[in-house]
Structure 1
Amino acid sequence: MTAARRAFLLRAGLAAAATQLPRWAWGGETLRHNPFALGIASGDPTPDGVVLWTRLVPAEPGALQAPLTVHWEVADDAGFRRIVQRGQAQALPEWGHSVHVELRGLAPDRWYHYRFLHGDAVSATGRTRTAPAPGELPARLRVAFASCQRWEHGHYAAWRHVVADAPDLVLFLGDYIYEYASPKDATGLARVHTLPLARTLADFRDRYALHKSDPLLQAAHAACPWSVTWDDHEVQNDYAGPFGRGHDAQALLETRLAGWQAFYENMPLRAASLARGVGALQVYRGLAWGRLAQLHLLDTRQYRDWQACRKDDASSGAAVRPADCPAWSDPQRSLLGAAQEQWLDQRLAAATGAQGPRWSVIAQQTLFSPRHYPSGTRSTDSWDGYPAARGRLLQSLQRHPQRNTVLLGGDIHQNYVCNVLADPERPDAAVLASEFCGTSITSRSGTTQDKADAIARRNPHVLLARCEERGYGLADITPRRWTTTLRAIDDPLRVDSGARTLARFVTEDGTPGPQRDA
């Protein structure tokens, strides 16, 4: 490791360190505006800690080029009369004045309140919690899962309903931002912005600032911890590993580096994700909830091979006919990359046996189960475009039988509920797992319900296919049962939209596959 790299990681570690500091040692920095205008967040809870996040807003564009000291407090109560930890962290300009505080020493399975202070400014109060102790079997876990929140396509009313549902954890599965400029024709859009197509670090920082200015999204971050991963729009539509539109690796490298740094700056991630630098930011990781659930949070974007038979100048991966595309069936092609495939296989191997988790949760970006279209084509940007990689994961699940396996996904802006089959090409194959692919927070689906219905008719493992709703999924997990409630927003163009339950499915302990709950 070079001296420059060591210095780089040291500064990142110092920024994340939860250094204890008595109140009398605090400085007197003051700002005349609200430095916490982008909100606060927490993430990736462990039995004894959690990550706290905020990002300071400079008084003027280009201002505040020096490190700033931010103080933080964690308390048992919302009034901060019973403070259990306090300290300070550095908001560094090279990290967009973001702060990542990694707490340790908290009690397991507990809710806490937290806030940040800078000079005379005090942030909003957030609620966060720790995970249960490793050997404990908690009675319940409520998880909201969501993805795809394009600014123009709707207001973030869904997040208001997520807050009302009071989850223990939010899993955000990608496309937190969209890199596009707003369309010139604003007909039918909820709102527009004036930002250009994001290419530089400044562009991506501005895009996150836009999204994080939304009060409903801020409230959802402040309500509970989040665990986040990314998909393509945090960089460029349908990019694949080192390649993107035009197949220009150098151009994508520069955009990708900017997008990834901005992602780290704006998410409650640990400094460990920077172990190999921003250019290899690691977002796949595990999260345990006692013996109730083991979460495997994947990255299906950074390590994937180029979409099968996609032309270099194509803006996206198109559907192909397998017989006309030899690359589609190449056994070496991967969606996760060899290292991540091995990591997941090892985690699944360790989760077997009597002491393994009740529920193994594979949380990733897109639809895992196949969709056999009436046209005979296959999508190339989802798992359908990487059949050998999907087969290896299915084989891993069969080599290492889990007590219960559930896959969560997003990306396609549609709700799908599926039986995950041991052989995806055989309708009579054994059911290995349940899959719930959630719709978008706001992003439009780009298809019709007639087409979704036609897919469901041709694919008996598909139990529900809906494309017309925006919303999120809610998973209530107990030792004996997993219940998924699909929540739909009445009108994404209204900031005060109501919500309804679209469908509810149950998976019983020891019985793979979801059943519709009447």
Structure 2
Amino acid sequence: MRNVNRRHFLITGLAAGAAAGLPASPATADTRSRDLATTPFTLGVASGDPDHAGFVIWTRLATHPMAEDGLGGMPSRPFTVQWQVYADEHARHVVRTGVARARPEWGHSVHVEVEGLAPDREYWYRFKTGRHLSPLGRTRTTPHPLAYGGALTMAFVSCAQYEHGYFTSYRRMAEDHPDVVLHLGDYQYEYTRDTYVIPGGNVRHHEGPETETLAGYRQRHAQYKSDPDLQAAHAAAPWLVVWDDHELDNNWADDVPEKPEIPQPGFLGRREAAFRAYYENMPLRRTSIPRGIDLQLYRRVRWGRLATFHMLDTRQYRDDQGCGDGYRDCPAASDPARSITGAAQEAWLLDGFRRSSAQWDILGQQVFFAQRDNNAGPVKVTSQDAWDGYAASRSRITQGWIDAGVRNPVVLTGDVHAHWAADLKLDYDDPTGPSVGAELVTSSVSTGGDGRDSDPATHPFLRINPHLRFYNNQRGYVLTKIERDLMTADFRVVPQVQVPGAGVHTRARFVVEDRVPGVKQTYLRPLDPSVHARDEITVEETVRLETDRP
């Protein structure tokens, strides 16, 4: 168990007095770095995509993060940035060191792929340019490919609308000390101020216009990255990131914008700008450097023999939504020619299932996987933006893990601004059929404002869809513990985000047992006594709450 001082140290960052840990700039360094009058490390540090020998460490230089030109107040020239990796939290034992260049054409971002480290170890890292020192970050390597390692603490989050609330969930997640964090999309939102407004009004505001240019996306990422709670979460553990829609445009699909009926000849240029800014601001490997309008984001990260994370991209290659992106009775949803992943990613995923020897195969992805019919009658009405709108694609993926004999398939999901848990089926029209997997869905970090407690037993979606096992409409994240014989999922809840500093509690706990597909509830916190029967949520309210369209 980590001691309290260390916890405080990791979350608050390194005091400036520790700058002696990094040597003075070498003679070959760009001495103009010393011209910066204020620290350029205003956006914090991050790490990501670990393997058994290393990880990516990231920072981006910005003396004035909210500069309208998106350049963060930096002079238009490269800067030399030193980096060091340490074996101890006090930054005394240096194990790797080097020099990188922060270039203006990449927003003065730095991506260092550190190699040659020991497997299954914690490490710490930081950066220096001129006389300025970054905060200290904690990261780690994965177990050796042939080893299981110990229990893995993994957290996953989604949907952080800056205007709707404070990022308290990020802070509380950092305090839970995960080994790895999965961010499943909607890391930032594209809307300009007073466009996407919650009842009672937004509690803070976006700067700048709707993000459509590289400068705009860079500025918006900088605004989010300036948040101290988000910085704490990035500094606490390595992240595996994938996008959803708001990193570009609400409910986009491949080269189709949200509103294709409105001519948008600049949409592909907007996509290229969004992808470039996303790479610049995330701890991604060089395999994800964007090439024009394309960015390779789907990938696999192996946690020894214990788990394999298949990180998916359900936006860049999908067919356009068949009948619009809302809840519809849509014949196109069952068209076998339509795909949410694209053919190449589907083949990659199915091949990964066949090759896997992991105890747990975990799909980190964006939109609801299980069927959610919102009509109690014979007509099926489902969300066309989720896997329900691509039912044949879902069936092929599900059949793929069955045919491959995947030991424990678990799907992780964001997008819908509420906690859910579900049993996965091959045939959702046969409620008596066997479960073939589990889905865990995280609520939003802040999107939708505070939310409210709700009784899952009374939710109409759960009555219509018996494979849906849990619902809660409060903000938060999911914290999991993955062991060889059990995955435990705590649905963590922050009661308030419209004021800062709220505490966190576990609203419910579900487990997935080894070789027992589906979820099993083991704990349910009593309903908030302020919630009464008259507050039961309706189908219409559920649909409204998860809709990101202003």
Identify which of 59, 62, 65 aligns with 1:57.
62
| Range with greater deviation from structure 2 (326-335 or 105-114) | 326-335
In structure 2, the partner of 1:366 is: 367
- Alignment partners' CA distance in 1, 2:307 and 2:83: 30
The answer to whether structure 1 residue 253 and structure 2 residue 276 are counterparts is: no
Deviations 1:334-354 (A, max 9, x none): 000000000000000001xxx
Equivalences for 1:178-197 in 2 at 5 Å?
178-183=189-194, 187-197=200-210
- Alignment partners' CA distance in 1, 2:206 and 2:373: 38
Deviations 1:316-339 (A, max 9, x none): x122113xxx32221100000000
Using a 3 Å threshold, how does the CA distance of structure 1 residues 47 and 450 change in structure 2: closer, same or farther?
closer
Question: What secondary structure does 1:181 align onto?
Answer: coil
Alpha-carbon offset, residue 246 of structure 1: 3.8
Kindly indicate whether the alpha-carbon contact (under 8 Å) linking 1:301 and 1:336 is maintained by their aligned counterparts in 2. yes
- Alignment partners' CA distance in 1, 2:226 and 2:26: 33
Structure 2: 5+ residue stretches without partners: 1-22, 524-550
The answer to whether structure 1 residue 173 and structure 2 residue 201 are counterparts is: no
Using a 3 Å threshold, how does the CA distance of structure 1 residues 481 and 432 change in structure 2: closer, same or farther?
same
In structure 2, the partner of 1:17 is: none
In structure 2, the partner of 1:462 is: 468
- Alignment partners' CA distance in 2, 1:201 and 1:480: 46
In structure 2, the partner of 1:32 is: 37
The answer to whether structure 1 residue 234 and structure 2 residue 259 are counterparts is: no
- Alignment partners' CA distance in 1, 2:171 and 2:329: 42
In structure 1, the partner of 2:425 is: 421
- Alignment partners' CA distance in 2, 1:182 and 1:441: 19
Equivalences for 1:143-158 in 2 at 5 Å?
143-158=154-169
Equivalences for 1:469-480 in 2 at 5 Å?
469-480=474-485
Alpha-carbon offset, residue 139 of structure 1: 2.1
Kindly indicate whether the alpha-carbon contact (under 8 Å) linking 1:243 and 1:249 is maintained by their aligned counterparts in 2. no
Calculate the aligned-residue CA RMSD, in Å. Answer: 2.0
Identify which of 483, 508, 517 aligns with 1:503.
508
The answer to whether structure 1 residue 485 and structure 2 residue 490 are counterparts is: yes
| Range with greater deviation from structure 2 (329-338 or 240-249) | 240-249
The number of aligned residues is 483
- Alignment partners' CA distance in 1, 2:487 and 2:226: 34
Deviations 1:44-92 (A, max 9, x none): 0000010000000146766411111111011112332210111011111
Alpha-carbon offset, residue 23 of structure 1: 6.5
Alpha-carbon offset, residue 153 of structure 1: 0.9
Kindly indicate whether the alpha-carbon contact (under 8 Å) linking 2:147 and 2:305 is maintained by their aligned counterparts in 1. yes
In structure 2, the partner of 1:308 is: 322
Equivalences for 1:422-461 in 2 at 5 Å?
422-444=426-448, 453-461=459-467
Alpha-carbon offset, residue 133 of structure 1: 0.3
In structure 2, the partner of 1:266 is: 281
- Alignment partners' CA distance in 1, 2:207 and 2:83: 34
Kindly indicate whether the alpha-carbon contact (under 8 Å) linking 2:450 and 2:475 is maintained by their aligned counterparts in 1. no
Deviations 1:215-274 (A, max 9, x none): 010011001100100000000000011101342464220111111111000000011112
Kindly indicate whether the alpha-carbon contact (under 8 Å) linking 1:242 and 1:249 is maintained by their aligned counterparts in 2. no
Alpha-carbon offset, residue 413 of structure 1: 0.7
The answer to whether structure 1 residue 410 and structure 2 residue 410 are counterparts is: no
Using a 3 Å threshold, how does the CA distance of structure 1 residues 160 and 58 change in structure 2: closer, same or farther?
closer
Percent identity between matched residues is 42
- Alignment partners' CA distance in 2, 1:107 and 1:22: 27
The answer to whether structure 1 residue 290 and structure 2 residue 304 are counterparts is: yes
Alpha-carbon offset, residue 280 of structure 1: 1.2
The answer to whether structure 1 residue 218 and structure 2 residue 231 are counterparts is: yes
User: Which residue identity does 2:55 align to in structure 1?
Assistant: V
Using a 3 Å threshold, how does the CA distance of structure 1 residues 73 and 429 change in structure 2: closer, same or farther?
same
Alpha-carbon offset, residue 512 of structure 1: 1.1
Alpha-carbon offset, residue 499 of structure 1: 1.0
Question: What secondary structure does 1:203 align onto?
Answer: helix
Alpha-carbon offset, residue 445 of structure 1: 8.4
In structure 1, the partner of 2:532 is: none
Deviations 1:157-184 (A, max 9, x none): 1111111110000000000000001217
Using a 3 Å threshold, how does the CA distance of structure 1 residues 157 and 246 change in structure 2: closer, same or farther?
closer
Using a 3 Å threshold, how does the CA distance of structure 1 residues 447 and 457 change in structure 2: closer, same or farther?
farther
Provide the TM-score with structure 1 as the length reference. 0.90
User: Which residue identity does 1:461 align to in structure 2?
Assistant: H
Alpha-carbon offset, residue 194 of structure 1: 3.1
Question: What secondary structure does 1:439 align onto?
Answer: coil
Kindly indicate whether the alpha-carbon contact (under 8 Å) linking 1:374 and 1:454 is maintained by their aligned counterparts in 2. no
In structure 2, the partner of 1:333 is: 338
Alpha-carbon offset, residue 189 of structure 1: 2.0
In structure 1, the partner of 2:531 is: none
- Alignment partners' CA distance in 2, 1:116 and 1:191: 31
Kindly indicate whether the alpha-carbon contact (under 8 Å) linking 2:373 and 2:382 is maintained by their aligned counterparts in 1. yes
In structure 1, the partner of 2:16 is: none
Kindly indicate whether the alpha-carbon contact (under 8 Å) linking 1:413 and 1:440 is maintained by their aligned counterparts in 2. yes
Kindly indicate whether the alpha-carbon contact (under 8 Å) linking 2:309 and 2:362 is maintained by their aligned counterparts in 1. yes
User: Which residue identity does 1:134 align to in structure 2?
Assistant: P
After TM superposition, where is structure 1 displaced by more than 4 Å over at least 4 residues in a row? 21-26, 58-63, 445-452
Identify which of 389, 394, 412 aligns with 1:390.
394
In structure 2, the partner of 1:163 is: 174
User: Which residue identity does 2:297 align to in structure 1?
Assistant: V
Kindly indicate whether the alpha-carbon contact (under 8 Å) linking 2:449 and 2:497 is maintained by their aligned counterparts in 1. no
Alpha-carbon offset, residue 305 of structure 1: 0.5
The answer to whether structure 1 residue 122 and structure 2 residue 133 are counterparts is: yes
Equivalences for 1:341-356 in 2 at 5 Å?
341-351=346-356, 356=357
In structure 1, the partner of 2:528 is: none
Alpha-carbon offset, residue 424 of structure 1: 2.2
Question: What secondary structure does 2:383 align onto?
Answer: coil
The answer to whether structure 1 residue 281 and structure 2 residue 295 are counterparts is: yes
Using a 3 Å threshold, how does the CA distance of structure 1 residues 505 and 246 change in structure 2: closer, same or farther?
closer
The answer to whether structure 1 residue 199 and structure 2 residue 207 are counterparts is: no
Question: What secondary structure does 2:216 align onto?
Answer: helix
- Alignment partners' CA distance in 1, 2:339 and 2:140: 36
Provide the TM-score with structure 2 as the length reference. 0.85
Alpha-carbon offset, residue 374 of structure 1: 2.1
In structure 2, the partner of 1:3 is: none
Question: What secondary structure does 2:174 align onto?
Answer: helix
